Amino acid sequence: MLKEIDEQPNVMRKLAALYTQESGKPNIDTGLINALNEADRIYIVGAGTSYHAGLVGKKMFEKLAHVPTEVHIASEFAYDDPLLSKKPFFIFLSQSGETADSREVLVNVNAHDYKSLTITNVENSTLFREATYTMLLHAGPEISVASTKAYTAQIAVEAILAKALGEAKEQTIAEDFDIRQQLGLVATGMQAIIDEKDMIEKLAKKYFVPAPRAFYIGRGIDQTVSLESALKLKEISYVQAEGFASGELKHGTIALIEEGTPVVGIITQEKTANLTRSNLQETMSRGASTFTIVRRSLALEDDTIIIPDVDEMITPLLSVVPAQLIAYFTSLNKGLDVDRPRNLAKSVTVE
């Protein structure tokens, strides 16, 4: 897992080189962009980490392309009776391309002759073969059960795709968004965070290893990262972790805060930064050990982990990296099998 975390900067550079031109414009199949441009709504389908990547993608498609976007858990969507729009377009996110529940949804999509795109890391996988369009993550083999580089690759591809669609719709915000430059900044920023891994290990060892539970909180796009951060911690270190919107603390979860409970606030969005800090303070007053993952331009003197500045839309590519490292070092220092956690498989091929 640590090797795959370390590979993320190069994955960002590779995706920028493959899917964007030197001018910064996306290099995406014209047929795919035309099909997306004809859609009146995008439906993103995924499971686990891929679902979390889809939540980030939703915000990108809606902001850059102004297209209404829904994100669905594959295992729920497969057996639901959704009220679809007149011209839906489906995007399937799957590292393996073999996720059983997503395959079931795609069967139904194809039965209705709807157009679809699979974004996967595995060429010639089932979802790759059966979708209308495909884009590869080019992340290289991901062996650890806990996904890291595939998650960030999915978000990067979604960002490129959202920019391309926004440009097709002549959205100024998309035309002004230089995704190639931003992915370069992300790659450099990722490496800077990874270089601080010794500090993050000390934090994990002192506060997370002995903790029975932990929480990640944030607002807006930071809330989507809190979900993925909590999933990483629970699946490899067996800490009962939750991620949620920080404004929901007072609606129940704060009752679980005890002396020493780790609570991490993810703060990358200017308009919600003070609100999340206020929510963190509420947990601190009840005994929590609080930490922050903060974008540099929003940082205060006592913040814990400061990440470099990039466009607010793609901050998840950086803010998730410290959480990946916290999960890794918590598991490692508990003497657990980081790459093969109990009861889990890399590819979920049964429903």
How far apart are the C-alpha atoms of 343 and 81, rounded to whole Å?
Answer: 31
What CATH architecture does domain 196-333 belong to? 3-Layer(aba) Sandwich (3.40)
- Indicate the pTM of the whole model: 0.97
* pLDDT exceeds 90 at position 346: no
Q: For position 351, what pLDDT does the model report?
A: 56
Domain ranges of the chain: 2-191, 196-333
The residues pairing with 294 across neighbouring beta strands, listed in sequence order, are 267, 306
More confident residue, 78 or 29: 29
Q: Which helix (H) or strand (E) holds 119?
A: strand 115-120
Contact 90, 74 (CB under 8 A): no
What is the secondary structure of 290-342 as a DSSP string?
EEEEEEGGG--TT-SEEE----GGGTHHHHHHHHHHHHHHHHHHTT--SSS-T
b/e for 35-60, b at 16 or more Cβ within 10 A? bbeebebbbbbbbbbbbbbbbbbbbb
pLDDT tens for residues 275-330? 999 999 999 999 999 999 999 999 999 999 999 999 999 999 999 999 999 999 99
Q: Is 99 left (phi over 0), alpha (psi -120 to 50) or beta?
A: beta
Given pLDDT bands bounded at 50, 70 and 90, which one contains residue 344? confident
Measure the CA dihedral 64/68/74/77, to 10°: 180
pLDDT tens for residues 47-62? 999 999 999 999 999 9
Asked if the domains at 2-191 and 196-333 fall in one CATH topology, the answer is yes
3-state SS, residue 49: helix
Q: For position 82, what pLDDT does the model report?
A: 86
Given pLDDT bands bounded at 50, 70 and 90, which one contains residue 348? low
The mean per-residue pLDDT over the stretch 221-240 comes to: 98
How far apart are the C-alpha atoms of 37 and 18, rounded to whole Å?
Answer: 22
Given pLDDT bands bounded at 50, 70 and 90, which one contains residue 23? confident
pLDDT tens for residues 199-216? 999 999 999 999 999 999
The mean per-residue pLDDT over the stretch 224-234 comes to: 98
CATH of 2-191, picked from 3.40.50.10490, 3.40.50.720, 1.10.3720.10, 3.30.450.20, is 3.40.50.10490
Q: For position 24, what pLDDT does the model report?
A: 86
Q: What percent of the chain has pLDDT over 70?
A: 99
Q: What percent of the chain has pLDDT over 90?
A: 94
